[in-house]
């Protein structure tokens, strides 16, 4: 059977397609529209649908809207507590109620009666547990909000969800973190990862005070009381310089988030006895908290789907319908679920753009040579990633052995210098270089400690706190990138390369060849590896 999943109500609109229990395609609308996060999470933007992503998913599978058995919309307006007429939230609910008609207009031929509402946190839970390698596991969802709750704790038995706890709004760990993000001068529902990075520069000196206002309730939930953040640090305007007070506030909030997650996980483990935990929701993108949860929590294994935020509910909704209708979902194969292009299509783009290029006999060796010479390489290969992390499909690569490359790449991308860049390493070599985090770690959703002796060798990828957000590469999953890593080690003695997303600040990750050429042309990147072709900056601008 064929199930199309749609996320649209808050932010990161996305679409996903599941056919006979197998994930066929998944993509965020931002990759098509080129608007970061697709839209802002405002009530009056709730009508905006992932039209381009949904149409592409169907084309990828050779299907038309008439071929779909059901559409999952990852929000159920019937669960929303009614608010006074004129409230913005009422407008969001009205749009959700009319979503079937909007979808039928966006996808001509679709029967509005095929649309099924899937509760937001159920879709999150399914996006993790039903995509995981397991049929039985505990599941914990924490995000900003859904219809009327901000959290779900439960377990899956043979693919069926049992909800054990849910925290009603206004109490929300995700909204609390968003509030701090905005207070620190960043964009809420967008820049929360900057708070996580800034936290490493501070001390959690307000932790005791925050324990009084952010606390578990002993029944699987928690309370977040109103907080005046100005007590701890003065609010920053956008793009203003931060001080140690701001870093200390970030560190305190991060530490309290980690503590509460550990207590929620402990309660869930007591109730279920499960050894494995599937984690979802925007909070699950906090890789520092994830590592502490794995290292100090009661579960032996923690699995996080790479699009753990709201975009992942498109996939979760489709998987939930597949499970409900008797199509046993297959585990997620990897994150490469977006658009891909043939060598011929890529070559045609280069010809139309009149860009000089070569086709090396051994692309991996050629790229490794460029990296060893300390050149930055824009890497565009295969199908694009689903989720916010660049995982070796749409990446910027660089030499990790030069500390200046952190600043250099942040300059290329036009982003804050306190933000770290990540290492990519062969799975078989990861354990000798990195500790504490899990191996394998293919989705860059955990931090690892850098082992003694290695921080000096790969300084570009070591954060101020001595950690690194590692992505491991398996030759079976990505043979080309595995060869790049091997060839780079042969030239430098380092089995690690820098990996950060192929984009510039405020723009979505590159997705198609035009995006790649525009990014290459507008930023100081020396080499573009577009499929099997190499484009060198000097050759382009000399022609």
Give the separation between CA 378 and CA 501, rounded to whole angstroms: 9
Q: What is each CA distance from 111 to 67, 276, 295, 497, 501, in whole angstroms?
A: 10, 39, 48, 49, 38
CB 444 within 8 A of CB 493: no
Tell whether the torsion through CA atoms of 303, 332, 3 and 50 is positive or negative: positive
Q: Can 11 be counted among the known catalytic residues?
A: yes
CB 167 within 8 A of CB 185: no
CB 28 within 8 A of CB 38: yes
Which of 308-346 are b and which e, b meaning 16 or more Cβ less than 10 Å from the residue's Cβ?
bbbbbbbbbbbbbbbbbeebebeebebbbbbbbbeeeeb
Q: What is each CA distance from 441 to 13, 302, 327, in whole angstroms?
A: 26, 11, 28
Active-site option among 11, 120, 246, 463: 11
CB 380 within 8 A of CB 502: yes
Give the separation between CA 133 and CA 112, rounded to whole angstroms: 33
* Sequence-ordered list of residues with C-beta below 8 angstroms from that of 419, at least 6 positions apart, any chain: 194, 197, 410
On the question of a cis peptide bond just before residue 105, with omega within 30 degrees of 0, the verdict is no
Q: What is each CA distance from 518 to 200, 504, 512, in whole angstroms?
A: 34, 11, 10
CB-facing half-sphere around the CA of 85: CA atoms within 13 A: 0
SS (H, E, C) 220-275: CCEEECCCCHHHCCCCCCCCCCCCHHHHHHHHHHHHHHHHHHHHHHHHHHHHHCCC
Q: What is each CA distance from 405 to 44, 529, 537, in whole angstroms?
A: 42, 19, 18
Active-site residue numbers? 11
């Amino acid at each position: 059977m064929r199930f199309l999943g749609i996320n649209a109500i808050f932010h990161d609109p996305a679409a996903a397609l599941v056919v006979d229990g197998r994930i066929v395609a998944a993509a965020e609308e931002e990759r098509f529209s080129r608007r970061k996060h697709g839209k802002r999470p405002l009530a009056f933007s709730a009508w905006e649908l992932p039209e381009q992503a949904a149409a592409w998913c169907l084309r990828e599978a050779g299907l038309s809207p008439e071929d779909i058995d059901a559409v999952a919309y990852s929000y159920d307006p019937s669960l929303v507590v009614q608010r006074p007429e004129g409230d913005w939230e009422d407008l969001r609910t009205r749009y959700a109620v009319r979503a079937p008609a909007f979808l039928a207009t966006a996808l001509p031929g679709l029967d509005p009666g095929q649309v099924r509402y899937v509760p937001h946190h159920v879709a999150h839970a399914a996006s993790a547990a039903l995509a995981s390698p397991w049929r039985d596991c505990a599941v914990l969802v924490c995000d900003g909000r859904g219809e009327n709750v901000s959290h779900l704790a439960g377990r899956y038995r043979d693919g069926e969800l049992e909800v054990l706890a849910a925290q009603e709004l206004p109490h929300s760990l995700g909204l609390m973190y968003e509030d701090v993000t905005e207070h620190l001068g960043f964009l809420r529902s967008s820049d929360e990862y900057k708070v996580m990075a800034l936290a490493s520069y501070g001390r959690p000196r307000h932790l005791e005070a925050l324990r009084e206002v952010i606390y578990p309730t002993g029944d699987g939930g928690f309370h977040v009381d109103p907080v005046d953040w100005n007590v701890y640090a003065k609010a920053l305007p956008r793009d203003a310089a931060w001080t140690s007070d701001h870093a200390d506030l970030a560190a305190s909030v991060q530490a309290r988030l980690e503590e509460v997650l550990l207590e929620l996980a402990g309660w869930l483990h007591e109730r279920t006895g499960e050894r494995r935990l599937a984690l979802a929701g925007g909070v699950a993108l906090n890789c520092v908290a994830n590592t502490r949860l794995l290292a100090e929590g009661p579960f032996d294994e923690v699995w996080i789907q790479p699009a753990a935020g709201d975009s992942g509910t498109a996939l979760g909704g489709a998987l939930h319908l597949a499970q409900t209708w008797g199509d046993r979902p297959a585990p997620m194969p990897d994150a490469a679920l977006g658009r891909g292009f043939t060598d011929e299509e890529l070559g045609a783009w280069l010809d139309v753009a009149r860009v000089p290029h070569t086709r090396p006999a051994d692309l991996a060796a050629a790229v490794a040579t460029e990296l060893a010479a300390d050149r930055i390489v824009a890497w565009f290969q295969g199908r694009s990633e689903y989720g916010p992390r660049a995982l070796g499909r749409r990446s910027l690569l660089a030499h990790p052995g030069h500390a200046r490359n952190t600043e250099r790449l942040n300059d290329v991308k036009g982003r804050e210098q306190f933000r770290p860049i990540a290492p990519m390493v062969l799975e078989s070599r990861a354990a000798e270089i990195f500790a504490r985090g899990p191996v394998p770690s293919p989705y860059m959703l955990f931090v690892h400690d850098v082992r003694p002796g290695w921080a000096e060798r790969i300084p570009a990828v070591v954060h101020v706190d001595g950690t690194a957000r590692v992505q491991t590469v398996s030759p079976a999953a990505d043979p080309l990138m595995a060869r790049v890593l091997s060839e780079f080690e042969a030239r430098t003695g380092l089995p690690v390369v820098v990996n950060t997303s192929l984009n510039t600040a405020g723009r979505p990750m590159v997705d198609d060849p035009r995006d790649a050429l525009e990014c290459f042309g507008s930023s100081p990147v020396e080499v573009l590896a577009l499929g099997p072709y190499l484009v060198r900056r000097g050759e382009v601008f000399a022609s």
